[in-house]
Structure 1
Amino acid sequence: MDLEIDALGLLCPLPVLRLRKRMMPLASGAQVRLIADDPAAVIDVPHFCNENNHLLVDMTDTQGTMTFVIQKA
């Protein structure tokens, strides 16, 4: 994992905005783990990946805490 982003406690759209900002300097192929508890993240993160051609490698939900693994395009 190249980067881990803790977005716990942040509400839409902040988890995705933080993800976008932190991914910008990374090289193509880098993997990022995003941890969020905003219910909207389950919609927002896949949409962000789709819009930017990033690969959503994994998405898990453990008692309301979601973990996303994204590979940069």
Structure 2
Amino acid sequence: MSSSDSPHYAYHVEWSPEDGEYVATSVEFGPALSHLDLDPVEAMRGIVDLVAWAVGDLRANGEPIPQPIADRAGLAP
């Protein structure tokens, strides 16, 4: 999977004092998916790749794929 499989998802990166690293999450996937890294940019890259993998896995198994918040009615430009 490539990051192009998850272009419209909303992501969040913040420092985690508990982990001593940045934690990146996807709003649509919630805390079920996260990526830790000492570098915030790498944390973001990691979650984007993880979401792309998850979307591919869901698609391959015929499971519902979360709709990106940005694509929901009234939120897209």
Instruction: State the TM-score, normalized to the length of structure 1.
Output: 0.30
More strand by share: 1
Structure with the higher fraction of residues in helix conformation: 2
